[in-house]
Amino acid sequence: MLQLRAIVSGKVQHVGYRSRVVTMARTLDLKGCVRNLEDGRVYVLAEGDRADLERFCRAIRMEDPLIRVDDIQVHLSPPKGAWDGFYKISGERETDSRLDTATVFLKELIVIVKDGFKETNFRLGSLEGKLDSMEGKLDQIVAGQEKIAYKIDAARREIVSEVKELRYDLQEGAVSRLSRKKADWMGQHAEAKPKIHIKPS
């Protein structure tokens, strides 16, 4: 068993850092406390096995959108056994300070959300204009398709009419040619027939 004392520097006060330290310490079953120092740093005291303390020391060096750890000064010594769990110690004036910090973050969040809504509304307006333009173009396409359909229908009727006339012409021509051929054939065979005269007795 060892006792770890650490001074953590960076953006570590009023950003939820101590709560994260408490969660990690309790996960590793360490005993001790974490508290803010007046100079903006955080003091951590933890007791436990060396391997758990080494994991804990790596885990408290974190960075996220709010928290930034710049440096950790670590000192190891024999444990005192004075803690039965791991606790966050808050100062007397921290509540007012935390409310002020929360107000600042809330204002920043409101600005971000408002800007986001403005951007979204602008993009939706732009999209609406594009949709209106597309609707006009679709109307033009539909009108063009209707004209094409009318022309196709007129052409179909004209083709059907021409086919009927052609069929009639072919029939008339064929009948006429057949009649002439028949007449020619009859004429040729009529000449070739020997004339038979029957004398009356």
Residue 171 lies in a domain: no
Our answer to whether residue 121 is catalytic in this structure is no
Report the predicted TM-score, pTM, of the whole model to 2 decimal places. Answer: 0.50
Beta bridge partners of 32: 46, 86
Residue 160 lies in a domain: no
Q: Please tell me which residue in 18, 20, 61, 93 is annotated as part of the active site.
A: 18
Residue 133 lies in a domain: no
Tell me what pLDDT residue 151 has: 82
| Count of structural domains within the chain | 1
CB atoms within 10 A of CB 7: 15
Asked if residue 48 has pLDDT above 90, the reply is: yes
Q: Please tell me which residue in 20, 35, 36, 50 is annotated as part of the active site.
A: 36
Tell me what pLDDT residue 101 has: 66
Tell me what pLDDT residue 200 has: 67
Q: Tokens in use for 115?
A: 């800007």
Q: Check residues 33 and 99 and name the one with the higher pLDDT.
A: 33
47 sits in which H/E element:
strand 42-48
Residue 151 lies in a domain: no
Which three-class secondary structure state does DSSP give residue 93?
A: coil
Residue 71 belongs to domain spanning: 2-91
Q: How far are the Cα atoms of 154, 188, 194 from residue 176, in angstroms, in the given order?
A: 33, 18, 29
Residues 67-111 pLDDT 10s:
999 999 999 999 998 899 999 998 766 655 566 567 667 767 887
Residue 105 lies in a domain: no
Q: Is 172 buried (19+), middle (13-18) or exposed (0-12) by CB count in 10 A? A: exposed
Our answer to whether residue 123 is catalytic in this structure is no
Residues 128-187 pLDDT 10s:
777 777 887 888 888 888 888 888 887 778 777 777 777 777 777 767 777 777 777 677
